[in-house]
């Protein structure tokens, strides 16, 4: 027996449950089609089928992605700040490079006007 036997069993169960769920949903698809199904939940915007044929602005999605990038930055920055003195100069320069790369990305988005609403 391997030391990772329980991990293999866990991943096997996850794979089995995922495939079983997809299989059952494929066998019994939703038969509900109508106006109520396509009504908006929160946004107040009626779903229109012509949106697939024309372009629409992606501002909300881009702002959300930028928020996620800078949120992930904080997730990486916080543990580094907690043990910053213990890890030495190499880790300091590595984190400095990480922050400079994020700053360059932020400057690029700012210069392209990604943060301005029209």
φ, ψ of residue 12 to 5 degrees: the values are: -65, -45
Higher-confidence position of 79 and 56: 79
Q: What integer pLDDT is reported at residue 11 of this predicted model?
A: 96
Cα–Cα distance, 81 to 92 (Å, whole number): 10
Residues 73 and 24 in one domain: no
Encoding tokens for residue 16?
């089995």
Cα–Cα distance, 89 to 91 (Å, whole number): 5
Residues 76 and 117 in one domain: yes
Closest by alpha carbon to 65, among 73, 76, 53? 73
In this predicted structure, the answer to whether residue 59 has a pLDDT above a threshold of 60 is yes
Residues 112 and 61 in one domain: yes
- SS3 for 1? coil
62-92 tens-digit pLDDT? 778 888 888 888 888 888 888 878 888 888 8
Q: Tell me how many domains the chain contains.
A: 2
In this predicted structure, the answer to whether residue 22 has a pLDDT above a threshold of 90 is yes
Residues 12 and 62 in one domain: no
Residue 39 is assigned to a structural domain of this protein: no
CA distance between the termini of the chain: 62
Range 29-44 average pLDDT: 67
Weakest-pLDDT range from 29-33, 52-56, 84-88: 52-56
Residues in the chain: 118
Q: What integer pLDDT is reported at residue 23 of this predicted model?
A: 94
- SS3 for 43? coil
Residues 21 and 63 in one domain: no
Residue 113 is assigned to a structural domain of this protein: yes
Residue 93 is assigned to a structural domain of this protein: yes
Residues 67 and 12 in one domain: no
Closest by alpha carbon to 40, among 31, 51, 29, 30? 51
Residues 60 and 108 in one domain: yes
What residues make up the domain containing 91?
55-118
Range 32-50 average pLDDT: 63
């Amino acid at each position: 027996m391997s030391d990772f036997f329980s991990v293999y069993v866990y991943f096997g169960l996850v794979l089995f449950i995922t495939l079983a769920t997809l299989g059952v949903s494929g066998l019994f698809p939703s038969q509900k089609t109508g106006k109520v199904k396509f009504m908006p939940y929160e946004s107040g915007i009626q779903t229109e089928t012509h949106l697939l044929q024309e372009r629409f602005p992606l501002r909300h999605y881009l702002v959300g992605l930028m928020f996620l990038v800078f949120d992930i930055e904080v997730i990486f920055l916080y543990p580094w700040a907690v043990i910053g003195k213990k890890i030495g100069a190499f880790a300091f320069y590595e984190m400095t490079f990480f922050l400079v790369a994020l700053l360059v990305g932020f400057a690029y988005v700012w210069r392209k006007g990604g943060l301005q609403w029209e």
